[in-house]
Structure 1
Amino acid sequence: MKVIGVAIIGVVLLLLLMMDKKQIKKMTEKLSVFWFRLAFAFLALFILNIAGGFVGIYFPVNIASGFLLAILGIPGFAALFAFAVFL
């Protein structure tokens, strides 16, 4: 397990060494936008779970639902709603 962790860190460091400042800045900006979307997705899932509890629809609040909502956005919400209603 340690070997895999060291290998991953080594690959990431090699990739960072091959990039220039513009590429690193662009990559960190995209990564920060993704983390913001993920945090907002969990907030939305929490609110939907509370509001859906009043009508009997429960949205699962887990990492898979968070990634689905963060990556897909509104279509991800539609998929989660369909899962909650039909399953």
Structure 2
Amino acid sequence: MKIISIVAVGFILLLLLVMDKKQIQKLMERFSVFWFRLAFAFLILFAMNVAGGFIGLYVPVNIASGLLLAVLGIPGFATICAFALFL
């Protein structure tokens, strides 16, 4: 496990050395957009869980549903609503 983490960190550092400044900025912008979407997805999941609690629906707030909502957006929202309704 220790060797794998050292190799991964070395690989990432090597990639950063090979990339130019514009590519690094674009990569960091994509990471920041993804983390914002993930945080907003958890906010939406929490609101769905609170609102669903009033009518007896349970919406799971976990990393899988957060990633689903962050990556897919509105179709992910519909999927989570369908899971909460039919399961």
- Indicate the residue corresponding to 2:53 in structure 1: 53
Deviation at 1:28, TM superposition (A): 0.1
The alpha carbon displacement at 1:57 in A equals 1.1
Matches of 1:37 and 1:2 in 2, distance apart? 31
Matched, 1:17 2:51: no
Structure 1: 5+ residue stretches without partners: none
In 2, distance between residues paired with 1:72 and 1:30? Answer: 15
Q: Distance in 2 between matches of 1:6 and 1:47?
A: 39
User: Corresponding residue for 2:71?
Assistant: 71
**1:6 — aligned with what?**
6
Paired residue total: 87
SS in structure 1 of the partner of residue 37 of structure 2: helix
Whole-Å separation in 2 of the counterparts to 1:11 and 1:60: 35
Deviation at 1:58, TM superposition (A): 1.1
Give aligned-pair identity as a percent. 69
State the Cα deviation string for residues 16-75 of structure 1 (Å, max 9, x = none). 111000000000001000000000000110011000001111110000010000000000
User: Matched residue of 1:17: which SS?
Assistant: helix
Runs of 4+ with >4 A deviation: none
Could you tell me which runs of 5 or more consecutive residues in structure 2 were left unpaired when the two chains were aligned: none
